[in-house]
């Protein structure tokens, strides 16, 4: 299974991001979506897991989106929240992947056998941070995450 991870689009779904996510079996958006049309476009590519971000809180269309989601990603229990500060200090032992956004900084970090992944920001460039998404190749026994830079 291949999962595409995107965050912090802030109303901009770049064609480069769509190309990078095409062919994924699942797409995960870690919040700060910006426009509901972005979710429609992503849902047209694959099933979608999504949480709202801090900038989505004031948008009426995002009121029905969760702040946190747990789901199974091909046998890997996954926690999705926008801001890593909102990840519970005591995580359920079953959670093996934590996906966040918010910082706009891509991150792949293994902590005590648990993957912490931030795909960075795929929306408008912020400061000198890269414009990125992530892809995770998921098998029952392991996951292989990678960051994809969308712009030079």
Residue 117 pLDDT greater than 90, yes or no = yes
Quick check: 14 and 124 in contact, CB under 8 A?
no
Burial of 82 (0-12, 13-18, 19+ CB in 10 A): buried
pLDDT of residue 127: 85
Single pTM value for the model: 0.96
Residue 138 pLDDT greater than 80, yes or no = yes
Confidence class for position 136, pLDDT limits 50, 70, 90:
very high
Convert the pLDDT of each residue in 21-77 to its tens digit.
Answer: 999 999 999 999 999 999 999 999 999 999 999 999 999 999 999 999 999 999 999
Q: What is the mean pLDDT of the chain?
A: 96
The CATH number assigned to the domain holding 93 equals 3.60.21.10
Residue 152 pLDDT greater than 90, yes or no = no
pLDDT of residue 33: 98
Residue 126 pLDDT greater than 90, yes or no = no
Q: Please give the tally of structural domains in the chain.
A: 1
Residue 140 pLDDT greater than 80, yes or no = yes
For residue 108, what are the domain limits?
2-149
Q: How far apart are CA 4 and CA 146, in angstroms?
A: 10
Instruction: Identify the three-state secondary structure at position 40.
Output: helix
């Amino acid at each position: 299974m291949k999962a595409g991870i995107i965050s912090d689009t802030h109303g901009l779904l770049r064609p480069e991001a769509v190309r990078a996510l095409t062919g994924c079996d699942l797409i995960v958006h870690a919040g700060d979506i910006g426009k509901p049309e972005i979710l429609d476009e992503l849902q047209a590519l694959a099933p979608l897991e999504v949480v709202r971000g801090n900038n989505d809180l004031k948008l009426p269309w995002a009121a029905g989106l969760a702040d946190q989601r747990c789901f199974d990603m091909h046998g890997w229990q996954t926690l999705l929240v926008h801001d890593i500060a909102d990840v519970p200090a005591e995580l359920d032992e079953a959670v093996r992947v934590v996906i966040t956004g918010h910082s706009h900084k891509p991150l792949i970090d293994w902590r005590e056998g648990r993957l912490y992944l931030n795909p960075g920001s795929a929306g408008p460039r912020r400061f000198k941070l890269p414009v990125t998404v992530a892809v995770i190749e998921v098998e029952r026994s392991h996951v292989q995450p990678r960051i994809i830079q969308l712009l030079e």
